[in-house]
Structure 1
């Protein structure tokens, strides 16, 4: 019987290596099964830990929700679908991601007139000025992010790649760098896990 991994993969422990926020505790089981063409028994055990470059508050909130969802038996590896987050925007006549629609709705709610009135009025009369730091981070999140604190993303509380629903109720704002990196790390950790496999999540320091 393959021994369960209790530490991150060796490459993540090497000096100067990037610390992963997600790795599979029983990766050897799934790697072996994939090589042999067999189906592994039991769930995939996804281990999450904070990275020094993450927004700790956002990571903790995200990780705790995934631990809870795993305990409730609601996590499984979903089929990869790049269009799963797409919705038709009737006003624009184009297809957009639900996360971008959500971002724009939040911006409109915070500014009323979006950026048109940002140079007018006072903090008391102009919602953009009152919420400037938050709105600017939302706009910055539309582009590339190189570090925490540069932008905000709408994040799926229950990850789409873990069979979460693509609904507005499943979205909340999160530090963009933390969101994108943890999502990428989870995808990498689950690459050898078959679709439909149940996933449980552990949180380690």
Structure 2
């Protein structure tokens, strides 16, 4: 009479076969430990029926003055033009866009100061190294921040000091995260 219990670990011909149960269990455990990718929220538009929110930005001592002023002035102009609003989160941002932007900047530096074919001068090599070092300390910043309705597009990117970019982005998020999506936003500088 045939046995209906679990089969052994040997297949025909005496070769061992894997213990599928343990493999599947390990795969399930690994998948559970992986961070889950959040799907982007559907984009929204400015809802002028909602009350306007004033976003107060402070220039911290740790910010580089020039980069901060450029970023703030760009946001202020967008604010004055009535274009800023709270976008739905999580944002639909493609990291390949910023990666490609940084690569184009790097390639442009090398093409100008350290061209192929051994035509680079010592001064050109020194300038290329200086600019590449500066590039390592910058982010590809969205001038019109996507969390304020800006596009995730290369035409909206500029290099900005990494600390200033990330800290300002967090400062903005902390103030707007609980607002209804589409809330109109006005920006002002506070001392």
Q: What range describes the TM-score normalised by the shorter chain of this pair?
A: 0.5 to 0.7
Tell whether 2:124 aligns with 1:132: no
Instruction: Give the secondary-structure state (helix, strand or coil) at the position aligned to 2:60.
Output: coil
- Report if the CA contact (8 A) 1:64-1:203 is conserved: no
Seen in structure 2, the aligned counterparts of structure 1 residues 115 and 161 have a Cα distance that, compared at 3 Å, is farther
Seen in structure 2, the aligned counterparts of structure 1 residues 182 and 200 have a Cα distance that, compared at 3 Å, is same
Instruction: Give the secondary-structure state (helix, strand or coil) at the position aligned to 1:97.
Output: helix
Q: Distance in 2 between matches of 1:76 and 1:103?
A: 27
Where relative contact order (Cα < 8 A, 6+ residues apart) is larger, the structure is 2
Partner residue of 2:43? none
Q: Distance in 2 between matches of 1:113 and 1:73?
A: 40
Root mean square deviation, CA, Å: 2.6
Instruction: Give the secondary-structure state (helix, strand or coil) at the position aligned to 2:77.
Output: helix
Aligned residues: 142
Instruction: Give the secondary-structure state (helix, strand or coil) at the position aligned to 2:87.
Output: coil
Tell whether 2:184 aligns with 1:184: no
* Alignment map for 1:1-205 (pairs within 5 Å): 41-82=50-91, 84-86=92-94, 96-112=95-111, 121-124=120-123, 126=124, 128-138=125-135, 140=136, 151-205=137-191
- Report if the CA contact (8 A) 2:85-2:182 is conserved: yes
Q: Distance in 2 between matches of 1:114 and 1:177?
A: 27
- Report if the CA contact (8 A) 2:50-2:184 is conserved: no
Q: Which has the larger radius of gyration?
A: 2
- TM-superposed deviation, 1:120: 8.5
Instruction: Give the secondary-structure state (helix, strand or coil) at the position aligned to 1:53.
Output: coil
- TM-superposed deviation, 1:121: 4.3
- With normalisation by structure 2, the TM-score equals 0.66
Q: Distance in 1 between matches of 2:174 and 2:190?
A: 18
Q: Distance in 2 between matches of 1:79 and 1:56?
A: 30
